[in-house]
Copies of this chain bind each other. A is one copy, B any other.
Amino acid sequence: MKRTILYLLFTFTVSFFYAKEYPSLMLTKSGVQRIRENLGKNPMFDATISEAKQKADLAISSPIIVPVPKDGGGGLTHEKHKDNYYAMYYSGIMYQITGEEKYASYVQKMLNEYMKLYPGLDYHPVKMSSTPGRLFWQTLNDFVWLVHTSIAYDCVYEYIPEKNRKELNEKLFRPMAFFLMDGNEPNNKTFNKMHNHATWACAAVGMIGYVIQDDELVDKALKGSDRTGKNGGYLKQLDELFSPDGYFTEGAYYQRYAIWPFMIFAQVIDNNQPEMKIFEYRNGIIKKAVNTLIQMTYNGTFFTLNDALPKGLNAQELVFAVNISYAADNSQKELLSIAKQYQSFLLPTDAGYAVARDISLNQAEPFNFKSLLLRDGKDGTKGGLAIYRSEAKNENSVFLMKATSHGLSHGHYDKLTVSYYDDGNPVLTDYGSSRFLNIVVKYNGGYTPLNDSFSMSTIAHNTVSVDGQNHYGGDIKISSKYSPEIYCYDISDPAVKVISAIETNAAPSVKMHRTNAILENIGGSRIILDIFKLTSETTHTYDLPFYYNGDMISLSTPYTKASDNMTTFGTDNGYKYLWKEARATTKDPYVCFTWLKGKKFYSVTTLTDNNSELYFVRSGANDPEYYLRNEPAFIVRQKNTGNHTFLSAIETHGKYDLVVEKTENAVSSVKNIRILEDNSDYTLVEIMVNNITATFKINYGKGCCTPKWTFNLINNK
């Protein structure tokens, strides 16, 4: 009864739409005209259309099956409803491009089947989600269904007789929009949340609103269900989900996923309400977010921070992002090179056409990958991701320090962790996530249990674990409250780039301050000084791993490797998933570990003393189902200490050329490394590389007149 009244209210709201043109979501009337006129003239876009046509033709030649929802993710009815929205999407687009009614008729018939099914549906029978959908087990999938179906409906809207349209609107689309937005408490909460699921929700509701000319749906999509703009909606998401630098708090891998509905809906808004200038909203935040996402890659693959799999610029989400952002602002010529170099397809839409056209006009410009600090938090105050990228022509290196906030449910407990890429390879690695996406036999394709217990753990990362514990005790609620402080990000000096950040809350009573000084060329090597200062009044054991990629070449001190029996590195937290491969103690003032990856040698030279122990470990223990990859690390352990500063020099050196059988500088060039002074005001270190000596001082005192760091190079001879 109540529902009926609400339906009526929806139906009779006064529309701001007048003389609306169709299509107007991902295609426009004039865009379709342009595409039609240019068919056969642009091989790249012709291939896109031909592929879309193949998919549409396959769809319309198959029987229409709209099953009663039954299965969860990966199951039969789940996959069928997914296939169905793709079938309608491609058929709708092909109707516009070819004008052939068979495509429109197919979409109409399928929509009518959904209209018969939908009103009778209760919550999905698979009760696994706190926000159960109707077609799918979770509303998220229902959102995605509605996004794609809205595009299809938009394409065939004028083909379907008005009476049928009205039925569809009243029996299928408005009830669905209502359910997804306001159907129950959790749905309403999701819709108004500051979260990427809400972006899908708003896009879905807003897009069907534009198609059926319902300005209330559109308004709520833009401003939240209370229509104030203060408590939810797409615009508030644009305000809050990205930092001023266009960084999304979950990291690159999920920024990729989040950007998808953001871009689609932006395109739709821009086509329907160009006066909103949505692409310029908040200083062009959405274009910036795309650019930032592209910046967070190495050789086309996203940095594997937090929960991540090796995806990159070729992912379908990025095709949407690059196509739509370029079409919105044709001055972004560097996006064309991303499309050209990394992406194997285009959108069969106005946006895709614009990209194809301008690539064929040779307008692509190289993307300006660069060093930058990406601040986290909506106002940029919650730490950040510091990216150093080499500039020399023959170099291809990236060094990262992650000093961001926790990053929601996909965040890892890895404050101040570092990664290093060089010469085409990850060199110091971040494990990313333990997940076999879409592989049913591996924990239903979801995150495996070892994702929580190992991949998220602190010891799985290149940062310090204190007393074998995870940062913030592995409690996301606590971890989410705090974020590190970026102490210094300075790339102004050609000789040395400095990244420095502070974390005071991750370990009880321990203050962590890590500083990396990148010396691009000293004595023929690239040296990254790594000064990890720990301050505590109580005694602890500190572990600092270096997860390395490549072949272990040497350690400068004798070590004992497990011969015929191997045990684990520990029994708790992430430690129990590591095999203890080798161990060493030393009396040397420093040790040097060297490995080989591809054509280069890499060394970590690190200070040691009587309280130091060295380990080589490898992931894969206590993993009964083969959920983990076997990845090696070199770990420096410092025992019985309160204040301690790990000082290491991460060096890139030499050349290994199998083609002409030539090896150069396989041995580290670091001749000495030491801490000259270390106190609460500063740490002063000295390094000698071949015949070059340099000192680096990081000042902790924040006096107005003290520079944060100083660097002195002494050419000895």
User: Which A residues are within 8 Å of any B CB, using their own CB?
Assistant: 309-311, 314-316, 344, 436-442, 445, 551-554, 560-568, 571, 576, 579, 594, 596, 618, 621-626, 629-630, 656, 658-663, 666-667
Contact = CB atoms under 8 A, between A and B. Distances in A.
A659 B567 contact: no
A311 B663 contact: no
A601 to B, nearest CB: 9
15 contacts: A309-B658, A311-B659, A314-B659, A438-B656, A439-B663, A441-B553, A441-B594, A442-B553, A553-B626, A561-B625, A561-B626, A562-B621, A565-B567, A565-B568, A618-B630
A441 B554 contact: yes
Given A437-B663, A440-B666, 12 more contacts: A315-B658, A316-B661, A344-B659, A438-B656, A439-B663, A551-B629, A552-B626, A553-B626, A561-B625, A563-B624, A564-B568, A565-B567
Contacts of A316: 659-661
Contacts of A624: 560-561, 563
A553 B661 contact: no
Contacts of A566: 565-567, 579, 621
A567 B568 contact: no
A439 B658 contact: no
A306 to B, nearest CB: 17
Contacts of A662: 438
Contacts of A562: 621
B658 A310 contact: yes
Nearest to A564: B568
A316 B657 CA distance: 11
A311 B560 CA distance: 32
Given A314-B659, A315-B659, A629-B551, A563 B622 contact: yes
A133 B440 CA distance: 63
Contacts of A656: 438-439
A566 to B, nearest CB: 5
A362 to B, nearest CB: 22
A309 B561 CA distance: 25
A565 B564 contact: no
Contacts of A622: 563-564
Main secondary structure of the interface of A (DSSP, over half): loop
Nearest to A595: B626
A143 to B, nearest CB: 16
Pick the 8 closest A-B CB pairs, nearest first. Answer: A438-B663, A552-B626, A566-B566, A441-B554, A564-B568, A561-B624, A563-B622, A316-B660
A625 B561 CA distance: 8
Nearest to A343: B659
Contact of A565 (B441, B565, B659): B565
A571 B563 CA distance: 11
Contacts of A623: 561, 563
Contacts of A576: 564
A17 to B, nearest CB: 34
A437 B661 contact: yes
B553 A436 contact: yes
Contacts of A552: 626
Nearest to A567: B565
A571 B551 CA distance: 25
Contacts of A594: 441
A529 B579 CA distance: 37
B567 A658 contact: no
A564 B621 CA distance: 6
A291 B626 CA distance: 43
A468 to B, nearest CB: 15
Contacts of A311: 658-659
Nearest to A562: B621
A344 B659 CA distance: 10
A112 to B, nearest CB: 28
Given A564-B568, A623-B561, A626-B561, A436 B658 contact: no
A658 B437 contact: yes
A551 B661 CA distance: 32
A666 B441 contact: yes
A142 to B, nearest CB: 18
A55 to B, nearest CB: 12
A592 B603 CA distance: 42
A621 B579 CA distance: 12
Nearest to A556: B441
A606 to B, nearest CB: 18
B567 A564 contact: yes
Contacts of A618: 630
B564 A436 contact: no
A576 B565 CA distance: 11
A86 to B, nearest CB: 10
Contacts of A309: 658
A114 B563 CA distance: 50
Contact of A666 (B439, B551, B564, B663): B439
A109 B624 CA distance: 69
A561 to B, nearest CB: 5
A563 B441 CA distance: 20
Contact of A621 (B554, B563, B568, B571): B563
A185 B618 CA distance: 52
A584 to B, nearest CB: 12
A258 to B, nearest CB: 15
A398 to B, nearest CB: 21
A301 B396 CA distance: 25
A103 to B, nearest CB: 22
A656 B436 CA distance: 10
A667 B441 contact: yes
